[in-house]
Amino acid sequence: MNTKSKISGLLKDNIENFLFVLPAFAIFCVFYIYPFTNMIYISFQDWIGIGPMHFVGLQNYKELMGDKLWWDSIWHAGYITLFALCFQNPLAFALALACDREIRLKRFYRVVFFIAPVLSEVVVGLIWNWILNPETQNGQHIGLLNHFLYASGFPQLVHDWLGDPKTALTTIAIVNSWKGFGWGFIILLAGLQTIDKQLYEAAKIDGAGAWKTFTNVTIPMMLPVILVVMILTILGCMQVFVLILTLVNEGLVNHTDVPVTRIFSAMQNTNRFGYACAEAVVFGIILVSISFLTKKLSDKAKQA
Amino acid sequence: MKTNRYFLWGMAKSTLIHIFLMTVALTCLFPLFWMIRCAFMTNATVFVDQSLIPHHLNFGNFAIAWTKGNFAVFFLNSVIYTVSVVTGIVFISSLAAYSFSRLKFPGKNIIFYMFVGAMMIPLPGSFVALFVLMTKLHLINTRFGYILCMINVGLSMSILIFKTFFDKMPHELEDAARIDGCGKFGIWWNMAMPFARPAIAVIVIFNSLNVWNEYILSTLLLGDSNLMPLQRGLVVFQGANSTDYPVLMAGLTMAAIPIIMVYLFMQKHIVKGLSSGEVLG
Amino acid sequence: MFKIKLKLCSCLILVFMAGCTQAPKPSNKILLWHWMTDRNDTFLKLAQQYQKETGIQVTVELFAPSDSYSQKIIAAAQASVLPDIYGILDKKTIASDFIQAGFVADLTGDMQANGEAWENSLFDKALADKRFDTNNTYGVKAGIYGVPIDVSNEQMIYNKKLLSKAGIKTPPLTFDEFIKDAQALRRVGVTPFVSGWGELWLLDCFASNYAFNIMGEEKVFDTFRGKVKYTDPDWIKVLNVFVELRDKGVLIDGIVTKGNKYSEQDFALERAAFAFNGSWCVNVYHDMNPDLDYGVIPPPPISTAYPLKIWGSAGSTFVVNAASPNKDKAIAFLKWLTAAQQQAVLARETNNLPSNKEALSTISPILGEFAKGMDQSTHPNMWPLNEDPSVSEVFDRGIQAIIIGEKTPEQVAQEVQIIKDRQMAKGN
């Protein structure tokens, strides 16, 4: 009698607990799992989007492994991501630190720094195209950046920023970082504000200077937040797409290709749905691996 | 004397910090300012007139954007979608996250990692499958179908954020609620949700922004123009070839206002709630 | 707690059922999906007028930009919920697949009724967009499957004021003259040439024009068939056109990342003397700079061996859903839409070339200059076959690489040929 009621009690418990998850899981199955399995199915086919599909097995994947343009695009996205990790996030952190103190205009800054992510892609594209415009008219530089460089005595630095393979990707990375630091700023600021003030006071009593406080109090307490920001940055930057379109249209030869532009090119320009889906699957695997690695590294850092 | 020097050094530091902050702030304000400025010009002058404040202020563009872009309908739709999707996400994802964090059932970890993995695996070629599925379910060209789809878009990240928050919830709070006679649902509603207010604020901001700016899925899944959100209204000014820039900027300005207001309202909660000693992450 | 859950679930189900739509029945309504933002207002107006005249309600829905529209059409085809009238924006191979899947009505009968009345009222080259000849390579039964509602072509445009500033009295008639003009323009500080070559199709168009000029269309088609290699000296000559343009300083800075919208801005704001663009630009220039004084010429030929043919065909074509219960009503509407009177309205309000020959007399002078080029026009949709898109992509990217000085024509030709060989081996 006892074990039976225990088992049925356990069953009822499990069902109850699962019910909490049910709405989310149901929606997830319909809107993600089903298209996901469909995508994997298509990745084994040769299909132009309409009409019959032809099963080709692993051929798409084999071709993908040898596709130099694809792996270059992964590297390009990786470059933009690394740039963001090295510049965008430290900038966000510095801004958050600066705003953490009780300074005037704190609320003003909090609002202003979030404007960039809120701005429509259209506006961002128009502005930056204007700033980076390489043309001249009647001897005047049309682009704001070139105009500024010329006027402030650096004419030798005037350049076609987006049109030169050496500078195009870095320029895109800079614009991407400018657009993205607002998110990191918010999350980091929120994290900073939760560090117990008593810890800071204890450090002061111990005679720690600003740097020591930073390394011994701030950083360790902020590690989980920094990890979240890092992963979100990586996922966001690797999937960059609309920004590329607005800055360099279909791209500077292949120097500004990123994985998502390759996938869309396969779908729209060459009408190869199967290949596009194979690219998406491989891309997904890469992203999962990167996230997994990042988490493992941060776990190690936490233990240290 | 020593205090004077200390005071001066403090002043210099804070001035430098302010210069740093102001410079970055200006780079963010410039596009906003430019967008509003263009909204007051005409197509013929918008790229020619280089002055900071246009010589002739053309107020008509806002009215044109409102009527020509059929803003009233699209605005209302966007509000409906944003409110329903965000409400839906907050409830559905917090329920799920609570279960992942505090309750046990077989397969819990697998399902959780599926959600997290979904954030990382994009589905670019999925629009055909999605469209066919929605048609079969008779959800195509309905508000409900679009709302469900958008809820899914924000689920993974919201669940992750909620779960990390619930993980930090002290067990004493839970025990106290249980003693008071709350079931699992009661604990979630009475204890966990108020505790997670800053997380709710972050999720509201993130998802409001996503839904408000969403365009591709709405074009795909909705047919009648009176179901379309605001971004569709803005498309009207971006002709296949000819773009009416000033009217477009006026439209974009009007579209940006509500979302900035949501942010202004919500960001207070992030900091206030978090100050009670929890860490996001 | 369970009671609350039950209530929630039943609420959800009720809302779910309320959201259901009903299946369409044949009626006096036809549904039209289009992507042309500029013409939405005019379409709505014409639809209202049609309803007054015939009592048939035409619902016009706009889905833009064209990429999103293409995706929606493909998805709708898979789900078998295409509207009564729509457009297929993709290549002709995709259109042929739509036809074979039964989504496109064969309009040959209607076109050729009454002594080919409808067919003769429209430009041949416009009809060619969705016309399939006998023994076509797509495996489609010969006939006309689409109704063109306008015509467009891509030509060179020149700014009269800037040209006279450089002392150029007449626009260039040969490529050599064009180069000399460009150098004269540079000497007075004017950028000679702008085009949206960040969009590969426009670059492909320009290259194709010169390919036809240098080697004749048969040799180009033979290259597509695989009988001629891209490393052939004639193709090197085509690629050398771009070397010449680059070395003589003809091209505007940043041309390979420039979208067409920005190149239109540049020409309208008189930042360049020549542009390569399509006839829709008339509308854009008029909006941005109504005082712009410009003329239209075909790209100046480099060779006298073969004629230089510009690309010109239907700008936009509508097809009728073969599975629609309102097929006949849809066809009647399209017939009305392409009648001279409605065409004149469209031409006047949207500044596009009409597809109806009669309406040609109503267009503005500058559009008339564009229209002149239709005689020497061709279009990939009219060719017996098209190049494999994977090969075209490498070819166009190769031209971009030449323009920025990264590769030589010989290198590009070799790379393209490698891809071509691979695609031919696949049996494509």
CB pair distance less than 8 Å for B21 and A99: yes
The CATH number of residue B188's host domain is 1.10.3720.10
**CB nearest to A228's CB, from B264, B270, B281:** B281
Where do the H-state alpha helices sit in chain A? 2-28, 34-43, 59-65, 68-83, 89-100, 106-112, 115-118, 121-132, 144-151, 165-193, 197-205, 210-213, 219-238, 242-248, 259-264, 273-303
Q: Which of residues 60-99 of C touch B (CB under 8 A)?
A: 61-66, 68-69, 71-72, 74-76, 78-81
pLDDT < 70 regions, chain C? 1-25, 427-428
**CB nearest to B242's CB, from C38, C68, C69:** C38
Q: Per-residue DSSP letters for C319-342?
A: EE-TT-TTHHHHHHHHHHHTSHHH
CB pair distance less than 8 Å for C21 and B48: no
Q: Which has more confidence, B259 or C160? A: C160
Contacts A253 to C, Cβ<8 Å: 256, 397, 400-401, 404, 406
Residue B240 in this model has a pLDDT that exceeds 80:
no
**Chain A contact present for C90, CB below 8 A:** yes
Amino acid at B209: L
- Domain residues for the domain of B196 are 70-274
Q: Is C379 within 8 Å of C122 (Cβ atoms)? A: no
Question: What is residue C345's predicted lDDT score, i.e. its pLDDT?
Answer: 92
Q: What are the residue ranges of CATH 3.40.190.10 in chain C?
A: 27-149+316-338, 154-312+385-426
CB pair distance less than 8 Å for C75 and B128: yes
CB pair distance less than 8 Å for B236 and C37: yes
Q: Match 């001279």 to its residue by tokens.
A: C340
- Report which of C72, C37, C43 is spatially closest to residue C60, judged by C-alpha positions: C43
> Which CATH superfamily does the domain covering C27-149+316-338 fall into?
Periplasmic binding protein-like II (3.40.190.10)
Q: Identify the sign of the CA torsion C249, C254, C260, C261.
A: negative
Instruction: Please give the Cα distance from A288 to B115 (Å, whole number).
Output: 12
Domain count of the fold of chain B: 1
Contacts C200 to A, Cβ<8 Å: 250, 269
**For residue B275, what pLDDT band results from cuts at 50, 70 and 90?**
very low
**Chain B contact present for A276, CB below 8 A:** yes
Contacts C78 to B, Cβ<8 Å: 128, 131-132
Work out the average pLDDT over A78-91.
94
Q: How many residues are listed for chain C in this entry? A: 428
Where do the H-state alpha helices sit in A209-258? 210-213, 219-238, 242-248
**Chain C contact present for B143, CB below 8 A:** yes
Residue B1 in this model has a pLDDT that exceeds 70:
no
Tell me how close the Cα of C94 comes to any Cα of chain A, in angstroms: 7
**Chain A contact present for C76, CB below 8 A:** no
Work out the average pLDDT over B151-171.
83
**Chain A contact present for C97, CB below 8 A:** yes
Tell me: the pLDDT tens digits for A178-200?
Answer: 988 888 888 888 777 767 777 78
- Report which of A93, A72, A109 is spatially closest to residue A228, judged by C-alpha positions: A93
**Chain B contact present for A74, CB below 8 A:** no
Question: What is residue C230's predicted lDDT score, i.e. its pLDDT?
Answer: 95
ipTM reported for the complex, 2 dp: 0.85
- Neighbouring C-beta atoms of residue A286, cutoff 10 Å: 17
Q: How far apart are the two ends of chain C, measured CA to CA in Å? A: 62
Instruction: Please give the Cα distance from C379 to C310 (Å, whole number).
Output: 8
The residues spanned by each domain of chain A are 1-43, 62-303
Q: Which has more confidence, A299 or C70? A: C70
Domain membership of residue B128 (yes or no) is yes
CB pair distance less than 8 Å for B225 and C62: yes
Instruction: Please give the Cα distance from C376 to C312 (Å, whole number).
Output: 9
- State which residue of chain A sits closest to B160, comparing Cα positions: A228
**For residue B52, what pLDDT band results from cuts at 50, 70 and 90?**
low
**Chain A contact present for C80, CB below 8 A:** no
Instruction: Please give the Cα distance from C12 to A303 (Å, whole number).
Output: 46
**Chain B contact present for A210, CB below 8 A:** no
Residue A75 in this model has a pLDDT that exceeds 80:
yes
Q: Is A182 within 8 Å of A114 (Cβ atoms)? A: yes
Tell me: the pLDDT tens digits for C99-148?
Answer: 999 999 999 999 998 888 899 999 988 998 899 988 888 889 999 999 99
Residue B281 in this model has a pLDDT that exceeds 60:
no
Question: What is residue B101's predicted lDDT score, i.e. its pLDDT?
Answer: 85
Which option is the CATH number for A62-303: 2.30.40.10, 2.40.50.100, 3.40.50.720, 1.10.3720.10? 1.10.3720.10
Q: Per-residue DSSP letters for C383-403?
A: SS----HHHHHHHHHHHHHHH
**CB nearest to B225's CB, from C4, C35, C61:** C61
Tell me: the pLDDT tens digits for A12-68?
Answer: 888 888 888 899 999 999 899 888 898 899 999 988 888 888 899 899 999 999 999
Question: What is residue C11's predicted lDDT score, i.e. its pLDDT?
Answer: 45
- Domain C154-312+385-426: which topology? D-Maltodextrin-Binding Protein; domain 2 (3.40.190)
Q: Look up the pTM and report it.
A: 0.87
Q: How far is CA A287 from its chain centroid?
A: 11
- Token output for A239: 């999937």
Question: What is residue B247's predicted lDDT score, i.e. its pLDDT?
Answer: 84
Q: Which residues is C57 bridged to in the sheet?
A: C29
- Consecutive H or E run containing C313: strand C310-314
* Distances, alpha carbon C54 to alpha carbons A260, C28, C47, C57, C329, in Å: 48, 10, 10, 9, 10
- Token output for C169: 């009295």
Tell me: the pLDDT tens digits for B163-212?
Answer: 877 877 778 878 887 888 777 888 888 877 877 777 888 889 889 988 99
Work out the average pLDDT over B20-47.
84
Does residue C131 sit in helix, strand or coil?
strand
Tell me how close the Cα of A38 comes to any Cα of chain B, in angstroms: 7
Question: What is residue B279's predicted lDDT score, i.e. its pLDDT?
Answer: 40
CB pair distance less than 8 Å for A36 and B93: no
Lowest mean pLDDT among A253-262, B67-76, B240-249, C143-152: B240-249
**Chain B contact present for C173, CB below 8 A:** no
Q: Which has more confidence, B106 or B267? A: B106
